[in-house]
């Protein structure tokens, strides 16, 4: 039995689909308010709970062999990115689980002090490595599925908002490829007790994205490119009355101000270990946008 947290999220939903296509038993950890009917139709066992509650984590991990931690945190980084994962690891150990897959983030080891999510991910990575469990840690760059709503907006307006340095590089990964890597990680011996940087096959500059949209929709992009100072101003103003949002903007700023790409060697290693060719961003978008 697999337990998937964040089962209704961009990654988790695809992981559950793949596991069910392979006929595997899956317990999908969802909230009462989550949109989980698709997962139920696919035959996943629906566990309704909240990762903020240790009791729910205890119940959800009963009888589980593989745990895939793919939940996000909104703005409650300490409780969800950190504590819920520590509890999942403790319970996995207590219940003799065979393998734990943790979705971290590219750059988790760079010590970004202004980005609470990155700090939490690194702390969980270390805890998992020292837990004695079999593990695979995946550090994805940006997900291609995050760009689908922006592509739909672009289709309507031709506009693309690009905050900060347009030359910064990234390796956007097909969310379907990432899901395949997650699922295969529990069986491939080459993935056991390893950390992988996970990106797409090409290194893109951020300014390439509106051009890809332009090619797909046959439309000249209109790029609006405010400086990153805009986020700094917003953070200072919001911080006066909402510290949690200010913290979330710290992570957002870190994502905008830095480069998140995988080296050619990292991509070659990924393709070799998981034995398939990664999809480009354009190919992913064309499949989903039906163009
Ligand atoms: N998105 C990216 O570009 C990116 C890049 C690198 C790494 N990552 C990491 O990958 C992981 C998954 O990201 P994603 O974009 O697929 O996530 P997502 O689409 O934002 O989904 C988040 C998931 O977490 C669930 N969740 C949130 N709070 C919960 C709670 N208290 N109890 C139970 N479930 C809860 C949500 O459930 P509901 O449906 O109920 O809201 C949802 O299923 C995250 O750890 C993220 O840090 C993401």
Whether 34 is in the pocket of ligand 1, judged by its Cβ within 6 Å, is yes
Cα of 212 vs centre of ligand 1, distance in Å, is: 26
Percent of the chain with pLDDT over 90: 88
| pLDDT, the chain, mean | 96
Mean pLDDT for 249-262 is 92
Indicate the fold that domain 2-140+175-198+263-276 takes in CATH.
Rossmann fold (3.40.50)
pLDDT of residue 280: 98
Whether 107 is in the pocket of ligand 1, judged by its Cβ within 6 Å, is no
Whether 143 is in the pocket of ligand 1, judged by its Cβ within 6 Å, is yes
- pLDDT classification of 152: cutoffs 50, 70, 90: very high
Cα of 14 vs centre of ligand 1, distance in Å, is: 12
Query: Per-residue pLDDT tens for 85-114?
Result: 999 999 999 999 999 999 999 999 999 988
Question: Tokens for 175?
Answer: 């969310």
Distance CA 122, CA 114 (A): 14
Distances (CA, A) of 218 to 25, 120, 277, 280: 43, 41, 27, 18
Its pTM stands at: 0.96
Query: Per-residue pLDDT tens for 203-251?
Result: 999 999 999 999 999 999 999 999 988 888 888 888 777 877 887 888 8
β-pairing, 45-48 vs 66-69, is unpaired
What is the DSSP track for 32-57?
TTS--HHHHHTTPEEEE--TT-HHHH
Cα of 28 vs centre of ligand 1, distance in Å, is: 13
Question: Ligand 1 atom closest to Cα of 52?
Answer: 31
Strand partners, 136: 101, 194
Residues 196, 275: contact at Cβ < 8 Å?
no
Cα of 72 vs centre of ligand 1, distance in Å, is: 3
Q: Environment class of residue 215 by beta-carbon count within 10 Å: exposed (0-12), middle (13-18) or buried (19+)?
A: middle
**Among the listed residues 169, 178, 222, the one whose alpha carbon sits nearest the alpha carbon of residue 196:** 178
Whether 76 is in the pocket of ligand 1, judged by its Cβ within 6 Å, is no
Whether 69 is in the pocket of ligand 1, judged by its Cβ within 6 Å, is no
Mutate to test the pocket of ligand 1, among 5, 8, 9 (most ligand atoms within 8 A of CB): 9
Cα of 130 vs centre of ligand 1, distance in Å, is: 24
Question: Ligand 1 atom closest to Cα of 34?
Answer: 40
Distance CA 163, CA 228 (A): 6
For atom 39 of ligand 1, which residue has the closest CA? 34
Whether 8 is in the pocket of ligand 1, judged by its Cβ within 6 Å, is yes
């Amino acid at each position: 039995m697999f337990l998937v947290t964040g089962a209704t999220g961009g990654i988790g939903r695809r992981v559950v689909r793949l596991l069910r296509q392979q006929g595997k038993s899956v317990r999908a950890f969802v909230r009462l308010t989550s949109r989980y009917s698709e997962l139920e139709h696919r035959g996943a066992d629906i566990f309704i709970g909240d990762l903020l509650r240790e009791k729910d984590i205890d119940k959800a991990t009963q009888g589980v062999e593989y745990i895939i931690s793919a939940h996000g945190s909104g703005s409650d980084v300490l409780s969800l990115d950190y504590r819920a994962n520590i509890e999942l690891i403790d319970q996995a150990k207590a219940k003799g689980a065979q393998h734990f897959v943790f979705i971290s983030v590219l750059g988790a080891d760079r010590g970004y002090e202004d980005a609470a999510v990155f700090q939490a991910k690194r702390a969980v990575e270390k805890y998992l490595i020292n837990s004695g469990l079999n593990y695979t840690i995946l550090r994805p760059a940006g997900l291609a599925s995050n760009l689908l709503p922006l592509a739909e907006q672009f289709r309507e307006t031709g506009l693309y908002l690009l905050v900060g340095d347009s030359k910064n590089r990234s390796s956007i990964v097909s969310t379907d490829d990432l899901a395949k890597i997650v699922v295969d990680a529990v069986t491939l011996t080459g993935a056991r007790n390893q950390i992988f940087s996970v990106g797409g096959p090409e290194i893109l500059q951020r300014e390439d994205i509106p051009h890809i949209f332009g090619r797909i929709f046959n439309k000249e992009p209109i790029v609006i490119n405010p400086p990153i100072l805009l986020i700094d101003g917003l953070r200072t103003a919001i911080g006066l009355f909402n510290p949690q949002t200010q913290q979330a903007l710290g992570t957002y700023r870190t994502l905008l101000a830095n480069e998140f790409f995988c080296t050619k060697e990292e991509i070659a290693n990924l393709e070799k270990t998981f034995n398939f060719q990664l999809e480009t961003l354009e190919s992913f978008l064309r499949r989903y946008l039906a163009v």
